[in-house]
Every structure is written in structure tokens, then in C-alpha cells.
Amino acid sequence: MAKSGGLTSRDVIVNVCPAATSTAPPQRFWSIVTSPETFGEWVDGRVVSIDPPAEMRPGQVIRMVSPAFGREWPLRIEVGEMDPERRWIDLVAFLPFGVANHEHLTLTPTNEGGTLIRFN
């Protein structure tokens, strides 16, 4: 793509894929990541509301606040598609200043019986 001296949409795309492995099986992680009321235990924030209040499902909205720079910032997470059999979830986190962070969380079994966790 030729540049005309300014930024193009290709210049502002950032893709970071945090990953970790654990000896715990994928089923254990699935029960944690599909319980929105416990998001505050693994996401830097506090759950304010869950609509509708229940186990995670497509269309659900989780509202949180996250601390930074001496104040709490609003965060809205919308649950997209999910596949419990393959253990993946699509989420969109709406952050301050109009930032929308699209996430694809996957839990993959390892050969040793543990889990490869990817959040990208």
C-alpha cells in the first residue's frame, strides 16, 4: 500500500496475543471464564452489572470499572459468539475514548492434559 505522507489504516493496527499454559484441564478454565461475576478476579476491574444476569451467553453485556490514573474508568464487555465444545469465546471490550478491543479467547488442551490459554 503506497503512503502519501500520512498514516494508513495498516499503520494503526496492533495485534498482541498473550498466551499461557497451565497443568489444569480446559474444563476448569471454561467454568471460570464463563462466569461473568468472577471477571474481576482475572481482569483488572470490578464487575458493576451483568445483563442478563446468568452464565455467559451471546448478547450478554458485562459492565465493569477499571482503576487507572487515580480514578475508575468504565468498561463494557459484549459477549459475541462462543463455542463451549471447542472452548472459545468472542468478546468486544469497549474502553474509554472510543476504543473497541475485539478479543478471541481460546482454551486448547495440551498433550500433557493441561491447557494453552490464548487471549487475542
Q: What is the pLDDT at residue 17? A: 72
Secondary-structure class of domain 20-119 per CATH:
alpha beta
- pTM for the model stands at 0.79
Residue 116 pLDDT level (bands cut at 50, 70, 90): very high
Average pLDDT estimate for 2-6: 54
Q: Measured between alpha carbons, how far is 3 from 87 in angstroms, rounded to an integer?
A: 41
**CA distance readout (Å), 90 to 63, 66, 76:** 16, 20, 14
pLDDT of residue 119: 83
pLDDT at 1: 47
DSSP for 10-77? GGG------EEEESS-HHHHHHHHT-GGGHHHHSSSEEEEEES-SS--TT-EEEEEEEETTEEEEEEE
Give pLDDT tens digits for 67-102.
989 999 999 999 999 999 999 999 999 999 899 989
What are the structural domain ranges in the chain?
20-119
